[in-house]
Amino acid sequence: MNNQIVILDGYVANSGDLSWDGLSRYGELVVYERTSPEQIVERCSRAWAVLTNKVALTAEVISAVCAVNPDLRYIGEIATGYNNIDVAEAHRRGITVCNVPAYSTMSVAQTVFALLLAITNRVETYSASVAAGEWSSCADFSYRLTALSELDGQVMGVYGLGNIGSRVATIAHALGMKVISPTSKTEAELPPYVTKVSLDEMFAGADVVSLNAPLTAANTGIINARTLALMKPTAILINTARGGLVNEADLAAALRDNRIAAAGLDVLATEPPAADCPLIGLPNCFVTPHVAWQSTQARRRLIDVCIANVAAYVAGRPQNVVGC
């Protein structure tokens, strides 16, 4: 029987500062930094367990792996989202699929406000100015390069009030912001500082819109010319969820024409993006390379739960099992 535990793309989650060694108790551990589609079948040919972050395990790939390796019994997602795995095909072949829920809640919520404060406070702009000697040569004790804005009293619209969105709402409230959300939760389920509104009311009323929802067929491109036209010209859009929530051409046009003030994006529709992505390089669009989940603490939790998932499966008590 095959006894390997294979990690197909371990580099982004763990570039060497953390350890996968806990998995070694359950089989011969083989860690690949990256795996191309052509390498998947061969690399999985002796594995009873395969872990993947972004490598796509489609129905065709799973079928091809099982044709040479009928001992594959477990697929672990090194993330929360598992759209890169054909779960139905895995289940059809008796393969258990597990993911890692809620490991990055605090880190992603923190990044929402890192992006927002980068826009409202421009710390990097002022720090660069000081480093360039502009304060030393200034005639006054202080100077203003950009308009600065207080968040206190502003309205935060939270689209997606799950684990991360709820944390965003809590932080916004602590900063003195009013929180509105087009949530499916009943008013009785909401904390007193969150007001339930319609989707259009959120876009029209919010000073900041934070996207924190999973991507579905129904909400793909929910940020588009129509919804952007509802927003205030002073409004800020933050997206730390999924790039597909945004029609990038429409957002780029709105930013260029100053129909909204700014955007802070940690995710794009295609990652890595094409060199001609319309959002990159706009002066009022702040883009980071999908790093919201990447704090050391969050990655440590991610790896710890990946190991715990394998341990639970071996013990006959699978946890975090993904359904079809």
* Catalytic residue ranges: 242, 271, 290
Residue 308 is given by DSSP the state: H
What are residue 105's phi and psi, to 5 degrees? -50, -55
In angstroms, rounded to a whole number, what is the distance separating the alpha carbons of residues 8 and 46? 13
Please report, for residues 8, 104, 190, 241, the alpha-carbon distance to residue 255 in angstroms, rounded to integers and kept in the order given.
Answer: 39, 29, 33, 20
Q: Which helix (H) or strand (E) holds 123?
A: helix 123-131
3-state DSSP: the chain helix, strand, coil percent, rounded to 5? 35, 15, 50
Q: What is the 3-class SS of 249-287, one letter each residue?
A: HHHHHHHHCCCCCEEEECCCCCCCCCCCCCCCCCCCEEE
Contact at 8 Å (CB) between 303 and 79?
Answer: no
Whether the link from the prior residue into 272 is cis, omega within 30° of 0, is yes
